[in-house]
Amino acid sequence: MPDFCHLHCHTQFSLLDGTSSIEGMVKKAVADEMKAIAITDHGNMFGAFRFVAECTKKGIKPIVGCEFYLVEDRHKKQFSREKADNRYHQLMLAKNMEGYQNLTKLCSLGYIEGFYSKYPRIDKELILKYHKGLIATSCCIGAEIPQAILNESEEKAEEKLKWWLDLFGDDFYLELQNHNLPEQQKVNEALIRFSKKYSVNMIVSNDSHYINREDANAHDILLCVNTGDLQSTPKGEGKGQRFGFSNDEFYFKTKKEMFEIFPDLPHALENTLEIADKVDVLNLKKSVMLPNFPLPKPFNDADEYLRFLTFKGAENRYGQIRENVRERLDFELGVIKKMGFAGYFLIVSDFCKAAVNLNVVIGPGRGSAAGSAVAYCIGITNVDPIKYNLLFERFLNPDRKSMPDIDTDFDDAGRQKVIDYVIEKYGQEQVAQIITYGSMKAKSAIKDVARVLELSLDESAALSKLVPESPNVNFDLIFDGKDDELRENYNSDEIASIKILRNKIKENTLHSKVLKEARLLEGSVRNVGVHASAVIIAPCNISDIIPVCTMKDSEMWVTQFDGKTVEDAGLLKMDFLGLKTLTIIKDAIDMIEQNHGLKIKTEEIPLDDAKTFELFQRGDTNGVFQFESDGMKKALKDLKPTVLDELIAVNALYRPGPMEYIKNFVARKHGREKIIYDIDVMSEILEETYGITVYQEQVMLLSQKLANFSKGDADLLRKAMGKKDKATLDNMKSKFMEGCHNNGFDFKICEKIWKDWEAFAQYAFNKSHATCYAYLGYHTAYLKTYYTAEFLASTLTHNNNNIEQITFFMDECKRLKVPVKGPDINESGINFSVNKKGEIRFGLGAIKGIGDAATEEIIKQRKKDGFYKSIFDLTSRVSLRTVNKKSLEALALAGAFDSWGTFNRAQYLVKSNENSPNGVEIAIRYGGNIQENKNSSQNSLFGIDGDANIPEPKIPYIDEWHTIEKLHREKEVSGMFISGHPLDDFKIEIEVFTNTKISELTDLNEIKKKELKIAGIVTLFEEKVSKNGKPWAKFVLEDFSGSKEFTLFGNDFPKFRGNIHLNAMLFVNGSIIKNDFKNELNIKINNISFLADMKDTNLKSVQLLLDNKQINNENLVKLKNLFEKNKGKAALKIAVVDTESLHKTQLLSRQLRIDWNTELKNELEQMNIGFKVN
């Protein structure tokens, strides 16, 4: 039997047109003892690098190719029905590195210059330019020569063949395929004749889109996912038909199967090996190629220039350079020079300096780069690693093989400015964003397949909900995983769902079919996107090194390889991250300068400010970066931090795993727990964390101190512990024990230390990162402490798209007694701002229906000619094309005109009768006349004031809207209630009696065992009658977090109907039940009450929680007065805890009964007295 290899293969990277995984395809080729295999995806090279790596690993020759879309003119982008965009398929293979580079170039230019609709297109002009080192074939029946045979004549086909032969000579092959299609038989007969006539070698291929014949149906479903069709739609090209392959022959066939198809063409089979022999083995992995950084005179060496900048920066940072600083800098510069990374540091330093000049805020640092003193001195980071004992070798050491990561945070708005600077400096062709591949996960595969196979939406949702939410979920584990594997990865509820799935896939049902096909499609690349922060900078045109593409989401080029692959291909990847906190800080500082004339520099903020630490000690950290959660607040209250080191430690400890050590950390700080060191010398390193190993850097330092590890070995140990790399750990343990023994330390104690590290070091955190983010958190706390209004205004602005967060921070403003005023035509800016009285003012930009142009026009004219006196003054001054009726009505609804006091909101919007204009329309007509007269008077001979005789019209009186309607209309244009919330008077009831926010009802599976207690206002109520004549109702309940629709059927309708009406404030008890018919979870309403009655009927007791140190005359007098002022029906209990013995004493007042309200709650919080209600 003649030998053969596949040269026409599509993988999952032929997006939604191929189901073959690279690994699966290579595995089958190796099993069939093929000597080579090609990848030829449609129009792209997304999988090329991964394909070469996989083939190399499995010992089979990789051939990199592409099946291009060939057009007459790649620049033409306008077509009609008569003159359509005729695209031909064209297969080309890289023969050597030159060919690979030309393939890369063609593939890139197909996107850059030829992209139209969804197709990257090339033309013959490009092929003429970039054909060297390439092998071309006549391709499939969608190609130029076969199409001419089928639709024109053999003579025309021969003309086209001659063009290819003239250009490629012996590197052009006629490609025969046989998928049992009549057209292919006709084409093959002609190609055989051409082969004889022109002495052109033939090859045979199979247009492989999936691996095995039985995968054909899954592939057909994938095509339907791509086109949006149902599989039941007939295949064809006419109306009401869909695209699909004709049969199940388009799979990766074995050599034997290919011989059976082409038994009379053994030489054509063998010629595939002729091509394989022509192809060089490509090595695509390269060492990093840094862009050329231009050095200023007189410097000729990057290391020399970096040394100069470092010591110059050190003088600015440290003043007199101490010996320990000089030694550290010399050490770091030596390592950087040895590893050849000086250019990298210079590049990052350069764009960080540019950011400062562009008024972009840079973060203090991120990740392990903060451990570099060189980075600190040249302005890359802003945290002193020597002061905080951060390790350079955690970032970079001679044993490290890859380029270190220097990720940089910028303020959100400024990030793009820095990227633009980089593009301008290095050139648009040398800077690109990085692609991401969106693959089909298990849940999405079920939903996609279910839609194509016409499973109902409810059943599809129910089926996908059975798949666990775990990030490492996959069908192989679900259907084939052993019990111990399931227990290791999933909880008991998830395992129960998996068992249901295992039963369902065995059934002979549509559910089973969906699951089987979804399993085959899992992992298919569904779409591509752009990495949120990663950017590469190349030393030359990127498309000379790797293929690039274009995307509608990016004006920059985008690599066709993803992040890890880009680095393996030798390109420098950097992360330009936008951090919202930096934007909040920047805007707050701008407002502070505007309101107080003080320009704050964050690097000059004192890090030992007592009032700022008091804020942390109170747990008053809403809005404080990294310290906002309830658990963190409790930790801060217990810890009572007094130095930044303690904030760094608690920031590192507050995460799953090490969190349990917080109580020990707190107890040791306050002397309630003894600090014990296993070996006395460990105190030097663990003293700052009270004897607890918190940081990875501590493990590294201790391994050096106890066992004489090198810095490289210490970093290797850190990595192995973090990854639970047992083989490396076992090897290093013996080295550790030997080193400890040589230093005279007790074997058993060292064994204990090692076991402690194994248990905890996997959770130990990067101190460099914790330091940077604690430092940033401290800055936000400082601003909140001293410039509360400005800080909160900026926080509100930058949470503008999150209603729940806006509501939360509006409450925070109220709690801190910072007034928040609605929008005002004479005071509001675009965003939330602070006025001269220290009040926060709502921004005009947050009002829906106005638009940026209208907002800017209003502010521009206000700055130019002063405050607007009335709506008539407003309409006579602004451009009415820009500030139109819709804008003005939105302003009125939001209350922006309230400060004039002339008209109520209804008067602007409501017509006095059907035929008359509303107030806004009257004002627009007036303003238009004024502006017209002004324009005509300016053009008149004498320039007489044209508006002098036009009196302001009257706006008819309309009754003011009641409060609820006014609030709902505010919400229409702002997405929130501005001047209040209908539920504001019931916050205590909601806090005490509810246990679930309405926003939490989106995923009932998460809370299915919970007895639901929710509250809200009815914003929609409709009564209906079913087909069988039975009444039912639906209503929407809304709280501070969101809204949800509920229904009442059967007996529930008469039972609860009396309590429900529009704007009713309700308390709802419910439970989650399973609807077996739909296989989904539903909410069953058990009871509905009025929220206003809840305190009277359900408030049982209020318990105060004090420690013995809080029992003093001052507090007792305050409490007595509070109890007098807040008498009610709830029992009063007091629990006193002795701080030494932790003994608790419970007290119950037999005489006093109290109320529970916001005022009492706030007073107790101010006194730092805990409480428990009910």
> Could you tell me whether strands 820-821 and 833-834 are parallel, antiparallel, or unpaired per DSSP bridges?
unpaired
* CATH number of the domain enclosing 508: 1.10.10.1600
Quick check: 657 pLDDT over 70? Answer: yes
Find the mean pLDDT for residues 322-337: 95
> Which whole-number Å values give the CA distances from 665 to 482, 633, 647, in the listed order?
40, 15, 12
Question: What 3 state SS string does 396-442 have?
Answer: CCCCCCCCCCCCEEEEHHHHHHHHHHHHHHHCHHHEEEEEEEEECCH
Same domain, 810 and 884: yes
Looking at residue 948, its pLDDT comes to: 54
Looking at residue 59, its pLDDT comes to: 96
239 within domain boundaries: no
Same domain, 854 and 894: yes
Quick check: 919 pLDDT over 90? Answer: yes
Same domain, 379 and 449: no
Same domain, 667 and 765: yes
Which tens digit of pLDDT belongs to each residue from 881-892? 999 999 999 999
Which tens digit of pLDDT belongs to each residue from 574-633? 999 999 999 999 999 999 999 999 999 999 999 999 999 999 999 999 999 999 998 999
297 within domain boundaries: no
939 within domain boundaries: yes
* CATH number of the domain enclosing 63: 3.20.20.140
Looking at residue 846, its pLDDT comes to: 87
Tokens of 850: 């106005």
Residue 768: how many CA atoms within 13 Å on its side-chain side? Answer: 25
288 within domain boundaries: no
CB atoms within 10 A of CB 375: 28
855 within domain boundaries: yes
- Lowest mean pLDDT, pick from 320-324, 418-422, 870-874, 1039-1043: 1039-1043
Q: 1004 falls in which pLDDT band (50, 70, 90)?
A: confident
Q: Look up the domain containing 1114 and give its range.
A: 1099-1173
Same domain, 841 and 944: yes
Same domain, 525 and 545: no
Question: Average per-residue pLDDT in the chain?
Answer: 93
Which tens digit of pLDDT belongs to each residue from 56-101? 999 999 999 999 999 999 999 999 888 889 999 999 999 999 999 9
**Domain end marker among 1096, 1113, 1132:** 1096
Same domain, 1062 and 1135: no
Supply φ then ψ for residue 860, to 5 degrees.
Answer: -60, -50
Quick check: 943 pLDDT over 60? Answer: no
**Domain end marker among 580, 600, 617:** 580
**Domain end marker among 1096, 1117, 1134:** 1096
Find the mean pLDDT for residues 175-179: 97
Same domain, 1084 and 1119: no
294 within domain boundaries: no
Paired with 39 in beta bridges are 64
Find the mean pLDDT for residues 1125-1143: 89
**Going along 71-165, which residue ranges are E strands?**
88-94, 121-122, 134-137
Number of compact structural domains in the chain: 7
296 within domain boundaries: no
Same domain, 38 and 155: yes
Looking at residue 109, its pLDDT comes to: 98
Of the candidates 402, 352, 401, the one whose C-alpha atom is nearest the C-alpha of residue 374 is: 352
Which tens digit of pLDDT belongs to each residue from 266-302? 999 999 999 999 999 999 999 889 898 999 999 999 9
Quick check: 942 pLDDT over 80? Answer: no
Q: Is residue 258 a contact partner of residue 5, using CB atoms and an 8 Å limit?
A: no
Same domain, 764 and 791: no
- Lowest mean pLDDT, pick from 413-427, 621-635, 655-669: 655-669
Report percent pLDDT > 90 for the chain: 78
Same domain, 572 and 619: no
Same domain, 747 and 795: no
Give the integer Cα–Cα distance in Å for 588 and 600.
10
Which tens digit of pLDDT belongs to each residue from 1085-1115? 999 999 999 999 999 999 999 988 888 999 9
Q: 553 falls in which pLDDT band (50, 70, 90)?
A: confident
* CATH number of the domain enclosing 1079: 2.40.50.140
Looking at residue 458, its pLDDT comes to: 85
- Lowest mean pLDDT, pick from 308-312, 1031-1035, 1166-1170: 1166-1170
Which tens digit of pLDDT belongs to each residue from 130-162? 999 999 999 999 999 999 999 999 999 999 999
Question: What 8-state DSSP symbol labels residue 1059?
Answer: G
Find the mean pLDDT for residues 248-258: 97
Question: What 8-state DSSP symbol labels residue 1069?
Answer: E
375 within domain boundaries: yes
Report percent pLDDT > 70 for the chain: 98
Better-scored residue on pLDDT, 348 or 965: 348
